[in-house]
Chains A and B, each alone.
Chain A
């Protein structure tokens, strides 16, 4: 059945992250139609109200557009998608730094190590 969810984070947020991830990775492309609320609810194993909220919030975030009578589509606004990618990248790096710093490694050490490992 459906997806596994973290039990301590709101499900609608986890689904927004999941769909955003699909967009960034190119699994869902600009202009692609999202499944209907009902279809997606059944697919991931959550209630339709939760998916409704996900679609509503993603539209407010301008990541999707609703076309009347046709459903929700991923935005083709490249500037918005670049912003999504940039903010994901920043989040990932920030959380990485916070993790490493929690172990007491210095910023200089981190930069040095990243430079070496990335080669």
Chain B
């Protein structure tokens, strides 16, 4: 379980997270949505332990998050953080050297499923192929938590479809939890159990998706748009 209590984070005078309290249960696929600048990436970075918070607390399975947690959480950043001259195989070797939970056999299996050659160089891959390779490296880790920042952004529908299939096939919700941010909820709404809606660094709502559809008869995007405009979704 992940518990955030009054988490605050600023970059200079910009408040990225105003005061976030949130409980995320395990065994779910949870979406973090909101407009650009709502705090999605900051939230994920804080959970992953790669960016320290200013105040408040984040507990993962009861233990405070720290820089060392990069080891127990598989984090897929939005930006490309790979050496461009690496081949996919070299990137996997690098992952193996950094993360004790990296299972190269599984990573290669995902890569194969997503049809990316192991010998291709990261810099010569198209954006779509690079997205697939990054997904394979991330899912290659046997972590309890996967945090993915905009994993489908800028990818065409076919690539997105393949990545969604890969996500479902190579994760196991009986022991793993997935948290992914997106500003395009349509990309992932059939995949999600829950949605956390952020606005201006605050949590506007945290709901089960089927409950939203059931109670409001609205689709998620409609509900989100109304909620964001009103400033407080039901």
Contact = CB atoms under 8 A, between A and B. Distances in A.
Contact of A8 (B160, B161, B164, B218): B218
Interface residues of A, number: 19
Nearest to B174: A48
B165 A7 contact: no
A46 B190 contact: yes
A5 interface: yes
Contacts of A12: 210
A11 interface: yes
A9 B219 CA distance: 7
B173 A10 contact: no
B163 to A, nearest CB: 9
B210 A45 contact: no
A1 interface: yes
A11 to B, nearest CB: 6
B168 A47 contact: yes
A48 B213 contact: no
A45 B193 contact: no
B1 interface: no
Nearest to A4: B190
A42 B113 CA distance: 13
B168 A49 contact: no
B213 A9 contact: yes
Given A7-B221, A8-B218, A8-B219, A49 B173 contact: yes
Contact of A47 (B161, B191, B214, B219): B191
Contacts of A49: 27-29, 173, 193
Contacts of A104: none
A24 interface: no
B220 interface: yes
B165 A1 contact: yes
A7 B219 contact: yes
A54 to B, nearest CB: 11
A36 interface: no
Contacts of B109: none
A41 interface: yes
A69 interface: no
Closest 3 CB pairs between A and B?
A1-B161, A7-B219, A10-B210
